[in-house]
Amino acid sequence: MAKSETVRNAERLVEVMMKGNDASHDAAHAFRVRDLALSLAHEEGLSSSPMSLEIVELAALLHDIGDYKYLKNPSEEKIVEDFLEKEGVDMDKSSQILAIIKNMGFKEEINGVTNGSHTPEFGVVQDADRLDAIGAIGIARCFTFGGSRSRVLHDPNIQPRSDLSKDQYMNKDEQTTVNHFHEKLLKLKDLMKTKAGKARAEKRHKFMEEFLEEFYLEWSGKA
């Protein structure tokens, strides 16, 4: 199916706005999430609704433009809203896209509490973003982000935080890179919303567990 002009403009906006980000949250991440979300949407039976697919595609493409970790000024949070208005996206569709973007972050359900009222479109976009945070790509992104923030790779004396609050999670300075696996990434499999997302997460989760097992053996000189 041919891309709409709005989708093509969204792709260009993503490339411009995310150009200065490190490779963990660059345009390639947004494009992978878009492709994953559309694939999950087809598996979840949303392909019969062009409106659903457009909501999914635009929300997935634009979801990280206002990421708090990269905001240079508060006004950037309105970029997506302004873009949708400029493109003439109708109010109902626009509000659904903005709601997905606003509520899909891990920080919104830090304690594992999920909101059962989320739409199917929300589920596939959030699952796609979380799939890109785990597995081989997720490992690469985790270490890329940690390196960009000069974070300690691993310190056996610093234990992962088991009672992590939203404020603590957003204070990235307290983490080591490896602890981020325990504080977030290994939890994502059980937070998937869709059947298709859960199925794909199993393999990626297992890959991370095997990686960490080898990492700790090598760190301690046992491998």
Residue 52: pLDDT band with limits 50, 70, 90: very high
Tokens of 159: 């234990």
In this prediction, residue 67 has a pLDDT band, given cuts at 50, 70 and 90, of confident
Closest by Cα among 164, 36, 161 to 109: 164
112 conformational bin, left if phi > 0, alpha if psi -120 to 50, beta if neither: left
| 46: helix, strand or coil | coil
> Is domain 5-219 annotated with CATH 1.10.3210.50?
yes
Q: Which whole-number Å values give the CA distances from 36 to 53, 69, 70, 127, 160, in the listed order? A: 12, 23, 23, 9, 30
pLDDT tens by residue, 74-90? 666 689 999 999 999 99
Task: Please give the pLDDT value at position 108.
Answer: 74
Tens of pLDDT, residues 138-171:
999 999 999 999 999 999 999 998 777 777 776 6
**What confidence tier does 16 reach under pLDDT thresholds 50, 70, 90?**
very high
Q: What is the pLDDT of residue 111?
A: 61
